[in-house]
A and B are shown apart, each in its own frame.
Chain A
Amino acid sequence: DIVMTQSPDSLAVSLGERATINCKSRQSVLYSSNNKNYLAWYQQRPGQPPKLLIYWASTRESGVPDRFSGSGSGTDFTLTISSLQAEDVAVYYCQQYYNSWTFGQGTKVEIK
Chain B
Amino acid sequence: EVQLVESGGGLVQPGGSLKLSCAASGFTFSGSAMHWVRQASGKGLEWIGRIRTKANSYATAYAESVKGRFTISRDDSKNTAYLQMNSLKTEDTAVYYCIRQGQQLVFDYWGQGTLVTVSS
Known contacts A100-B61, A101-B35; A52/B107 CB under 8 A: yes
Q: Whose C-beta in chain A lies nearest to the C-beta of B110?
A: A49
Query: A59 — which chain B residues lie within 8 A by C-beta?
Result: 104
* CA of A97 to CA of B107, assembled, Å: 10
A50 and B47 contacting across the interface, CB-CB below 8 Å: no
Number of interface residues of B (CB under 8 A): 20
Q: Interface residues of A, CB < 8 Å — how many?
A: 23
Per-residue interface assignment for chain A, residues 42 to 86, with 1 indicating a CB less than 8 Å from any chain B CB and 0 otherwise: 101000011110011001010000000000000000000000000
Show the binding face of B for A, using Cβ within 8 Å: 35, 44-47, 50, 61, 63-64, 97, 102, 104-108, 110-113
Q: What are the 8 tightest A-B residue pairs by CB atom distance, in nearest-first order?
A: A49-B110, A101-B47, A103-B45, A55-B106, A40-B106, A106-B44, A55-B104, A105-B44
28 contacts between A and B (CB under 8 A): A42-B45, A42-B107, A49-B110, A49-B112, A49-B113, A50-B97, A50-B107, A52-B102, A52-B106, A52-B107, A55-B104, A55-B106, A56-B104, A59-B104, A61-B108, A93-B45, A95-B106, A97-B105, A97-B106, A100-B47, A100-B61, A101-B47, A101-B50, A102-B47, A103-B44, A103-B47, A104-B44, A106-B45
